[in-house]
Amino acid sequence: MGFCTLLAGTLGTFLLPLLLFLAAVRLWHVYCVSGREPGCSLPLPPGTMGLPFFGETLQLVLQRRKFLQMKRRKYGSIYKTHLFGRPTVRVMGAENVRRILLGEHRLVAVQWPASVRTILGSGCLSSLHDGQHKRRKKVIMQAFSRDALRHYIPAIQQEVSACLARWLRKGSSGLLVYPEVKRLMFRIAMRILLGFEPRQEQGSEQQLVEAFEEMIRNLFSLPIDLPFSGLYRGLRARNIIHAKIEENIRARLAGQGPAGGCKDALQLLMEHTQGNGEPLDMQELKESATELLFGGHETTASAATSLITFLGLHHDVLQKVRKELQMKGLLCSMNQDNKQLDMEVLEQLKYTGCVIKETLRLSPPVPGGFRVALKTFELNGYQIPKGWNVIYSICDTHDAADLFTNKDEFDPDRFMSPSPEDSSRFNFIPFGGGLRSCVGKEFAKILLKIFMVELARNCDWQLLNGPPTMKTGPIVYPVDNLPTKFIGFNGQI
């Protein structure tokens, strides 16, 4: 009797969990292939789905770029995986990406991971579809019109000049470029997009910067809202940002908003809602403003940091930028004041624009975008099942573009002539493409051009650690924060 009881206990302790585990593995296998369309002879893309239920999310979160590079080497331009709780196909290459980006509302629809949707909210532009997305984008685009951009230039130049003056005062001690640039771009985004006057907000600026960094660190996390989880920390940081934005909105409603000049994006959103006779949805406005801040400063901070890196490593390119500035009367000696910038002058700086393009080609701030398959469709001989997530890769598409000669070299001249390298839309997609191309791309281009002009005509610099190791989390940034020593430029080229 005792032996039977012991045997039963042993079987219950070891055999039952083993059977449950094997059943879970079998169910996982069925789940991984269940998306196949009955009667469709096309195979699923190659790849692995990782651990049952967890998929390969942990590997991606921990290894980021190393994980993605390994997958690309092993499986090529289309492969399957399981990320953030969903079966996923990752896509790269101009033709493959073209079908995804031009297939919006027909083959695919935007769908970010659950953690992103939870933190940023359902009311932001990137989560809207069809008519709602079209109407909201039309309103926001007013804040990035040519006339609006022209109005922003003096404020941007003022912020950049003041920042570079602080860097130069640090002298030989050096500074960490990436956090400094993030603070600069945050101030500009707060001022231009949301109408904050940063000089009046210094007490809370650091708190907001830290909250944004915490929110962004946890955007792509497991969708588990428990104390100390990534999602929990991201939501807590977002609430700090929302509280400040709500304070700003209520001040405007009380007639204390910014006066004169072009209207910022937040003001346009408020007026659009009120003009349609709709009740003001505070939560929706806070989500839209948070998304604008995210898009308006994180990505430009990454690109500006990469500009400093590439120009610091390629002094010949920096000298060519300065020669262009000199030809346009923008490079003065140390005893003269630098000329104020305007739209017409900035548009004439062709080589400077090519340096920005080449920087975005080699180091695009956003590595890719998320979609979901609306129906089962064929892509390059593979079946993309309905309901699966589709991630298109910007960085891998740039890397794989055969159109670019000597693609690993930093060579802005490749964009100087209207060659095939500049004309193939989907070999160069730093701002995405199709209906959901970046709404603020023209703002980003103007901002980066002003930053580079001010940098080139005011500073020389040295990267103290040499070429940095880059990491994605979720925006591309240097692991060492790019320690750099800045000194004043003497005007000689």
Instruction: Tokens for 413, please give them.
Output: 């001249």
DSSP-derived 3-state class of residue 249: helix
Q: Residue 15's pLDDT is what?
A: 58
* Closest to 331 measured CA to CA, from 446, 412, 452, 444: 452
438 annotated to a ligand binding site:
yes
pLDDT tens digit string along 376-416?
999 999 999 999 999 999 989 998 888 888 888 999 999 98
The CA–CA distances, whole Å, from 260 to 139, 151, 153, 201, 403 equal: 19, 11, 15, 20, 47
- Strands 470-472, 382-384: parallel, antiparallel or unpaired by DSSP? unpaired
Query: Which tens digit of pLDDT belongs to each residue from 175-215?
Result: 999 999 999 999 999 888 888 765 555 556 778 888 888 99
Q: In what order do the strands lie in the sheet with 368-373?
A: 78-83, 86-91, 389-393, 368-373, 108-110
pLDDT given at position 259: 57
Direct distance between the N- and C-terminal alpha carbons of the chain, in angstroms, rounded to an integer = 96
pLDDT value at residue 331 = 85
Q: Can you read off the two tokens belonging to residue 360? A: 């975005």
Residue 422 pLDDT:
47
Q: What pLDDT does residue 28 have?
A: 47
Buried b (16+ CB within 10 A) or exposed e, 321-337: bbebbeeeebbeeeeee
Integer Cα distance of 333 and 328 in angstroms: 14
Angle at CA 51, nearest 5°, toward 46 and 55? 65
Burial 53-70 (b: 16+ CB within 10 A, else e): eebbbebbbeebbebbee
> Which pLDDT score is estimated for 10?
52
| 179-216: burial string, b at 16+ Cβ within 10 Å, e else | bbbbbbbbbbbbbbbbbbeeeeeeeebeebbebbebbb
Longest dimension (CA), the chain: 101
Give the domains, in start order, of the chain with CATH numbers.
46-488 (1.10.630.10)
Give pLDDT < 50 ranges for the chain.
Answer: 7, 11, 20-21, 23-24, 26-28, 30, 421-423
pTM of the predicted model as reported, rounded to 2 decimal places: 0.85
pLDDT of residue 198: 54
Q: Strands 86-91 and 389-393, how do they pair?
A: parallel
Q: Are 88 and 389 in contact (CB under 8 A)?
A: yes
